[in-house]
Each structure stands twice: as C-alpha cells, then as structure tokens.
C-alpha cells in the first residue's frame, strides 16, 4: 500500500518558533535552515529534531488509532549518522536504531506497540566530514485508515477582525498540500467591518478559488458562527470532518493536515483538538489537555498551565510524555467528525463560552472520544492577557456553565457548584464588580426560565447586557487624566495562604455589610496587580484594566452590596432546590435545542430580521 504522510517536519520561518522544532530557542551550532522542509548541517554538526512540532507523539497514535507501525523518512544529500530516539510515558529515552546512512532516501519503521503508556519519537542527525542537506523529513504509515481519502471543511467565525482573518486565509492559500484535503473554507462573517470589503481580500479569494465560501449573518456569537460552519459542511455533503478555527489565530497549515490524518486513522469517532500557543510568547503552550472538575463543575487543566517549551523542552519535561484523556477541546482549533455532528447536533445556542466544553461532554456521552493532539496547534491571544469574567461576558460564563452542569454533571444536584457560584458572587461584590454580579444574577434567572430561553434570547441578550453597563460606573474605562487625585500605592509581597484568604474574606464581608463607606481620598494602584483582597480593603480604588492601557474606578456601595448578597443567596438556592426538575427539562430538550432544525430556524429568523 502507498504510504500516507501523517506528519511532516516543517522548519519555522520565525526565529521565535525555533524551540518548537529543535527543543531549544536557537539553532544548533553548524545548522542552517534552507527552506520549510530542508536544512543543512556543516561538517561534524549534529542536531536533534526533538521539539514539540518535530517529534511524533507516538503514544497518542498508539492509544487512539489503528496504526501499528510508522515509517520515518529522511532525504540525505550526503552520508550522515542517523539515530531514532523514543521515550516512554515517563519521558525516559531509548535509542531504537543508530546507523550510518548513505546519501539518498533513508527510512526506518517504528513499531508503536513499544509505546503502551505514552511517549514520543524523533530523529537525530550528525554530519560526517562533508556538509549534509537533510530534507523531506516526515512520518508516514502504510496502515489502512478507518476513513479512506478523508477530507475536511474549515469553518472560521469572524467578527470585525479583518486583518487577522485575512492572515489565516493567506496561510491556507499558500499551502499547496491542502488541495485534495480541504474541500471548503467557510468564513462566517458576523461583523459590521466585512471581510469582503477589505484591501487584499480579492487576491486571497482568487488564490483560494472555489474553496472559499463567504457567509454573512447576524452576530450569533461563536456558537452561532461555528454552528453555521457545521451546517454548511453537512449540507454540502462532501467532507468527513469539519474543523473549527478562530479568526484571530496564527496558523501553520501543517496542523490541519496532521489533524485530518490522525482523525482518519482513529478507531472510533474522535474530536481532535489543537493546543493553544501564546501568540505573544510563541513557545508557551496554554495546556496539553483540559477537563471538567465534577465536584464544583469548573474548567481545569490536566497539565501545568503556560509551559514554556523554550525553557523546558520535550526531553526535559516528563509530564509531556503521558497520554491524557481530556473532556473537551477548545474551539480555537478543533476537528469534529461530520457523522458525529449529524447524530448529536450542532453547538448549544450559548452565544459564547462553554459551547466547546458542552459539545465535548455531549460527544463522549454518545461514545466518541476527545483527543488534544500534541504537534497540532494554533497561536492565539493567551487567556492570561484577557479578563472577560467581569465584563459583559460574565453573563455567558455563569449561564452556560450552569446549563452545561444541568446537562452533564454526575454529582447529585451539581455537587458544590451552587456554593462555588455563591463564593464567586461574593468575591466579585467585595471587588466592587457590581455589574458582573448583576449579570450573573440575570444568568441564573435565565436558566430558571428553562431551555426554550436559550434560543429565544440568542440574538437579543447581548444588547440588554451592554445596556445594563450604563447603570454601573465601575464599567467606565478612563484615561489617567480623567482620574481624581488619589493616594498612590504599590502592591507586592507574598500572596496570602488559604487561611489568610479565608480570614480576609470573612473580615471584609462583615465590613462591606456593616460599615459605611468612608469619604477619604481614593487609592490608586500604580504597580502590581490588584487582587480581590487588595480591592476589598478600600472604599474607592483606581486600578488598571487587564491590558494595562486604561483605568477603572471602583466605589463601595453598601446598600447595593446588601441587596446583591440577598439576591445571590436566593438565586443560588433556587436552582439548587429545583435541580432535578431543571436537569430533566434541559436533558429532555438537549438534542432539540442544538439540532439542525433549530439552527436552520435561527439562521432563517435572523436573516429576516437583518
């Protein structure tokens, strides 16, 4: 059988990405990158292609696919010493083969049964007395795929991020290997600054040709945009997979090819997710795998967060060699089998937040698997550079987490979710984020209204949420010139321990309930990040926004605090007491509210209203 490529070693065009290939932040001595698929070694130079995007996650291939052997191929322009190295699930290395290879094509077959608990595999090269050009380094297999000649459609949801979206489209257009693998690129434009009107779009459209399908629709959030991409893929009936992509990513199309290859060999329907790399720090990976902690039903990473591969590469990081079993994969880059979408439906009409997590849990309930595949990734703005839990998105965080718990929580009445929600409300109130708490209260009320409200308010809720901000002065973003004179403070020192945080929480809770706000000068935080225990100790405090470019002013309001505490207790107790009935309602309707028919009605209704 003709070998099928499953991963090509592609050399980076940016110096900042070197550690992803060479497991170090600089080129090895005597090594020069010639092109994306070739490099040159000076006499006696050596290198190890043991980086995150160059090595093969052999343990993951063994765990999820029908592939039993893979072949490593290298084109050598002169004789060289070649070594193939493998690791186990603990990261312990072993040499599989070491040989003096002649010029020309060199291959070696690797048996994946040698990776029962995880591990990676990579190639190391050493030049002799003459320079060596090494090219077309790739992993392939002769195994019969579960899905023959599999193809995918891409679904990109965009909202007023035209330059980013065009960059993604250019990257796709510039990769010839995508032809024959990608059937269509659906760009679902939900903004007012349209992609079609941008400089450079005609050239990109011409390069992509018939593959590009541009769809303009009302803003239905990420869930609406990605559901439209799923829908168009199903209607076209050509693709085995649909791959969801954010519009503000930096993409190497090799990740598309790897994801499709992996999914086509999976034993069972599998959601294949790509990792998130920090676009500002390109060697930092957000998380290797993510899950849901059932006790309080909250997101959690199964691995250390924000690991920098330039500081600790694959060979030095044992936990990276394990095979993880995530609950979901983020939709910045995620492959979904089309037949799975046909069975379980599209995204829940969440607008944004928790749609990817809910879909992953729904897919697993249907018998599908979820894999976060190492070596498949996109660069994205890191969550650490965002703070969307207290702005208008607070509503969607709270509502959609609660709905997802009603659908999928395994603990009685959601475990300690209600206590966790109450603690979040109180922490935000102590931080004088009254707007965020007001939105959370609206979210709980929306859930109490039942599943029909999800569809009814999909296109209107955002308007109401933003209108409410005008009633909360802490949402107003100010320049430094607009700030009142204040006493400046710098925040530093060690973070209080758990007991210290609990003690401060209790003390400040009493103060905010009982004491009248003072009339002294505001406090301005000029250095350091203000956490809730810093903010709660003040009556008026000026703090920087998450991006550090502007300021907000928080002012303590005792009457608002008291009213919000009472409302939080009442609402959290309300959904907990009605948990079984609410869960039954949402679970009975989960396939209907996310169904093709429901989304077709949403698309039609919003098109008429436009």
Q: Which residues are catalytic?
A: 356
Q: How far apart are CA 610 and CA 605, in angstroms?
A: 9
**Dmax (CA) of the chain:** 83
- Buried b or exposed e, range 120-135, using 16+ CB within 10 angstroms: bbbbbbbbeeebbbbb
Report residue 17 as tokens.
């990405």
Place of tokens 């009142």: 484
Q: Number of C-alpha atoms within 13 angstroms, CB side, residue 498?
A: 0
Q: How far apart are CA 352 and CA 400, in angstroms?
A: 8
Please tell me whether residue 448 adopts helix, strand or coil conformation.
helix
| C-alpha torsion angle, residues 404, 349, 586, 410 (rounded to 10) | -20
| C-alpha torsion angle, residues 135, 139, 141, 145 (rounded to 10) | -120
Strand order in the sheet with 540-544: 487-490, 523-527, 540-544, 551-555
Contact 179, 148 (CB under 8 A): no
Report residue 600 as tokens.
């077709």
Q: How far apart are CA 547 and CA 553, in angstroms?
A: 15
Q: How far apart are CA 607 and CA 389, in angstroms?
A: 30
Torsion over CA: 287, 175, 125, 85 (sign): positive
Q: How far apart are CA 275 and CA 333, in angstroms?
A: 8
Q: Which residues face 48 on adjacent strands?
A: 124
Q: Beta strands 250-251 and 298-301: pairing type?
A: unpaired
Report residue 497 as tokens.
């321990």
Q: How far apart are CA 191 and CA 219, in angstroms?
A: 7
């Amino acid at each position: 059988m003709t070998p099928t490529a499953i991963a090509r070693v592609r050399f980076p065009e940016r110096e900042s990405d070197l550690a992803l290939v060479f497991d170090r932040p600089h080129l090895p001595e005597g090594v020069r990158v010639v092109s994306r698929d070739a490099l040159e070694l000076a006499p006696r130079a050596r290198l190890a292609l043991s980086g995150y995007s160059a090595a093969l996650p052999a343990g993951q291939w063994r765990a999820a696919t029908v592939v039993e052997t893979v072949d490593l191929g290298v084109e050598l322009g002169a004789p060289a010493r070649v070594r193939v190295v493998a690791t186990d699930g603990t990261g312990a290395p072993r040499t599989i083969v070491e040989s003096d290879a002649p010029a020309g094509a060199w291959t070696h077959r690797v048996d994946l049964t040698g990776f029962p608990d995880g591990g990676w595999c990579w190639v190391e090269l050493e030049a002799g007395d003459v320079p060596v050009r090494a090219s077309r380094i790739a992993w392939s297999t002769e195994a019969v795929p579960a899905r023959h000649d599999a193809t995918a459609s891409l679904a990109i949801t965009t909202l007023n991020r035209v330059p980013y979206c065009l960059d993604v489209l250019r990257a796709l257009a510039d990769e010839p290997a995508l032809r024959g693998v990608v059937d269509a690129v659906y760009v679902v434009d939900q903004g007012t600054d349209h992609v079609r009107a941008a400089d450079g779009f005609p050239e990109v459209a011409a390069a992509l040709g018939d593959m590009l399908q541009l769809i303009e629709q009302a803003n239905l959030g990420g869930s609406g945009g990605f559901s439209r991409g799923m829908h168009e893929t199903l209607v076209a009936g050509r693709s085995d997979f649909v791959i969801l992509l954010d519009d503000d990513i930096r993409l190497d199309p090799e990740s598309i090819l790897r994801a499709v290859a992996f999914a086509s060999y999976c034993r069972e329907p599998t959601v294949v997710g790509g990792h998130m790399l920090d676009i500002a720090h390109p060697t930092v990976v957000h998380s290797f795998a993510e899950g849901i902690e059932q006790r309080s039903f909250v997101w959690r990473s199964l691995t250390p967060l924000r690991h920098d591969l330039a500081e600790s590469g694959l060979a030095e990081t044992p936990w990276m060699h394990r095979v993880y079993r995530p609950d979901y994969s983020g939709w910045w880059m995620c492959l979904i089998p089309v037949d799975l979408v046909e069975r379980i439906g599209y995204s829940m009409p969440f607008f944004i937040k928790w749609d990817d997590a809910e879909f992953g849990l729904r897919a697993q309930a249907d018998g599908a698997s979820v894999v976060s595949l190492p070596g498949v990734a996109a660069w994205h703005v890191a969550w650490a550079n965002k703070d969307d839990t207290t702005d208008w998105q607070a509503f969607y965080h709270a509502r959609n987490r609660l709905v997802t718990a009603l659908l999928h929580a395994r603990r009685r009445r959601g475990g300690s979710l209600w206590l966790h929600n109450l603690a979040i409300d109180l922490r935000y109130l102590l931080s004088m984020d009254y707007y965020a708490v007001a939105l959370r209260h609206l979210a709980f009320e929306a859930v109490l209204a039942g599943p029909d409200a999800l569809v009814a308010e999909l296109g209107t809720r955002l308007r109401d949420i933003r209108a409410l901000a005008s009633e909360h002065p802490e949402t107003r973003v100010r320049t430094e010139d607009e700030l009142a004179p204040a006493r400046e403070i710098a925040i530093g020192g060690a973070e209080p321990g758990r007991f210290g945080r609990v003690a401060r929480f209790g003390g400040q809770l009493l103060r905010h309930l009982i004491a009248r706000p003072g009339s002294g000068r505001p406090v301005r935080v000029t250095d350091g990040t203000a956490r809730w225990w810093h903010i709660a100790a003040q009556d008026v405090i000026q703090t920087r926004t998450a991006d550090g470019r502007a300021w907000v002013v928080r002012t303590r309001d005792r009457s608002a605090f008291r009213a919000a505490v009472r409302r939080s207790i009442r609402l959290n107790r309300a959904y907990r007491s009605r948990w079984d009935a609410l869960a039954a309602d949402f679970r009975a309707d989960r396939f209907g509210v996310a169904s093709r028919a429901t989304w077709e009605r949403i698309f039609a209704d919003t098109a008429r209203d436009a």
